[in-house]
Amino acid sequence: MRANTAQVRANIRAIKARLLEAKSNFTRIKNLYASESATKADFDGAAANYESIKAQLASARQALQGSATVLSYSKIVAPFSARVTDKFAEAGDLASPGLKLLTLYNPELLRIDANVRESLALSLKIGQTLKTKIVALNLNIPAIIEEIVPAADPGARSFLIKAKVNSHPQLHPGMFAKIQIPTGKHLQLSVPINYIRQIGQLDMVWVLEGSIPVRRFIRTGQQSMEQVMVISGLNPGEKLIDPKDIKNL
């Protein structure tokens, strides 16, 4: 293919040289014909020869374009900067349409696919940001919904959600992720965990009633970060006292 392309290029150079000569001859005959020093047959012959070589040059350029296109098929270029995850061909193998050569992935364009039950999926929107946790890395990252496949799986009664995540050096295709989907809002009373003291199996806090610190037993629930949910024993607006400050009161 390279030799054929080189041959076509050489042919174009030869045609250009002939065209230059034909153009010069045509101009000369044209001037002679204008001064009636050349016959009409000489003029027509020079013009026909000039136009014929111009057509040959155009044809040769088309042949070069076709040859260059065929030659370009000898080099397979990845559509993006990527990492190779698997290899299916060796040097010297014949590549043909449909034959898998490599498996690639773009580390800058990772996506999470999740099957979400239809009762929750219908409330989601394109562009919505969801909290996501990569379990193996204990990593929390945002995921932006790029696509909601508009057809439910009748067996699982779920929709496929595709969400984009930011690149991370430890993220790899195939890892397991959990997406948090909001189902509603509710008010929750919580207190800092360092304000709680335990007496046996009971949780206790110090509450300021007027100017007097009072010990109050409470019932707690889930812990989130440095906060603990209070199920009962406290009312919104009550003022807590840090146990470290009790001795100073």
Cβ atoms of 234 and 189 closer than 8 Å? yes
Domain covering 2-72 in this structure, CATH number:
1.10.287
Given the candidates 3.40.50.10490, 3.90.1200.10, 3.40.50.1100, 2.40.420.20, the CATH classification of the domain at 190-248 is: 2.40.420.20
| CA 9/CA 1 separation, integer angstroms | 12
Pairing verdict, β 239-241 and 129-134? unpaired
Name the burial class of residue 163, with classes exposed (0-12), middle (13-18) and buried (19+) by CB atoms within 10 angstroms of its CB.
buried
| Helical H segments across the chain, by residue range | 2-34, 40-72, 118-121
225 three-class SS: coil
One DSSP character per residue, 87-152 reads E---TTPPP-TT---EEEE-TTSEEEEEEEEHHHHTT--TT-EEEEEEGGGTEEEEEEEEEE-SS-
Total count of residues recorded for the chain = 249
pTM for the model: 0.47
| CA 164/CA 143 separation, integer angstroms | 5
Superfamily of domain 108-180: Efflux pump adaptor protein, beta barrel domain (2.40.30.170)
pLDDT, position 226: 85
Where do the structural domains in the chain lie, given as residue ranges? 2-72, 76-106, 108-180, 190-248
- DSSP assignment letter at 237: T
pLDDT, position 248: 52
Residues of the chain with pLDDT under 70: 247-249
Angle at 8 between CA 7 and CA 13, to 5 degrees: 95
pLDDT, position 247: 64
